[in-house]
Structure 1
């Protein structure tokens, strides 16, 4: 298989609007043979100071992420008094954060250091999938927390959201997250091209391409997916959190303390009596 650039270079001789783009395999094979006769410049190595800076910014956050979130999970699991609805949701956030640290951060560091893909076809498909799953789950969990706080503060007499309901919401959020990220399991591919001096390996997105009316190539599935993903991961959660927390702030600002009016009036009467007794 060739790199993303080379595969997009040669198309078939015909153009029918709406038809799926297919590679001209005969011309493609010629390109593969030509590539074996030429050199490909290796990725430019990073200077030592930049490598040290990247290590400084990656390794400590990785350790803090893993250790800190494991501590949060253990505290809630081992302490029955900590097993509240909010803490269960926070544990879910910790699980999502650890998933990113364990499955994604070290791959990102490796790509940054080597400027090439060395992790195989499985992680090519899996690392971006789990990253989107974890990020989506985190965002949806924060949305659930905002709703839980909204119900507890704005409607305190109706009772808080029960733990069973929170667990059900967490399961739904993970299923929705998996559904949001699942296309990456099909469109991410490891591709390689053998040059004279080295073998170039890339992990790239390969969405189906179609001809438009001007014989250009478009990816309607990619556009549709990113529109839906942004809606699920950002637009809807941001709107819900903005509305719930705005109402919570307004409620807390204008909330009257029970008995506060009577207590203040009694305090004023005592002050007047004290001042009148002092004047006598």
Structure 2
């Protein structure tokens, strides 16, 4: 691996949304050294169980996550977890469109202007894991990272554009099975210019080879739609997405989910970048666009 993590970061931030790539950027004010090898191994073991440190130098550290197994070329092997050295960050590459959807970190502009250094972390071969195993491994990895780097101020999830203050991650009490949806999947909101239409969508589920969601609607308060999306994402994750095109799900009436209102589902390509498969949820008489389901 290149000792300069700039190329690594660019690779992770490309428009590849088929589950193969998952990256996190840890932002900090000052450059910091790579933690001691023994400390890194100890903290990784604390959060991930048995690990094997197979590489450690001034460029990056690599660990095999031995508690998780994938099959590659007919062989059962553990995925790898990679951590780069701390290098100068280029927060200006995170555009205004992405920043506008960082609802979980209202202070993101200050963080990105003041924190000029970063550590990049990702997994390798993790895409071959089941959705639940990969989500569990990545969130355990996240918790290890914010412990290993106490000067980290914020973590940016590169596949979803979501950002959290590191202290919020260190002190969270989110249930284990809910961590990935909470931290790594973003639910975005858009108003369609020159119309009364709105759009809510999610981004980040493709990391687990699961579909994102999309709602194109009008005349509804978007806040219950956002809550509906998070409830549906949790259902999809916990049940390995049993939803098929043509199915219906509980909709919203007076701001609450109810069985009395049924909304249709259909798989299609997303309306908003990045292009990816989504379940488009038709909000009945509040749906916008030309829908027959």
Find the structure with the greater CA-based Rg: 1
Q: TM-score, normalised by structure 2?
A: 0.26
In terms of fraction of residues, the more helix-rich structure is 1
Q: TM-score, normalised by structure 1?
A: 0.27
Q: Which of the pair has the greater relative contact order for Cα pairs under 8 Å at 6+ separation?
A: 1
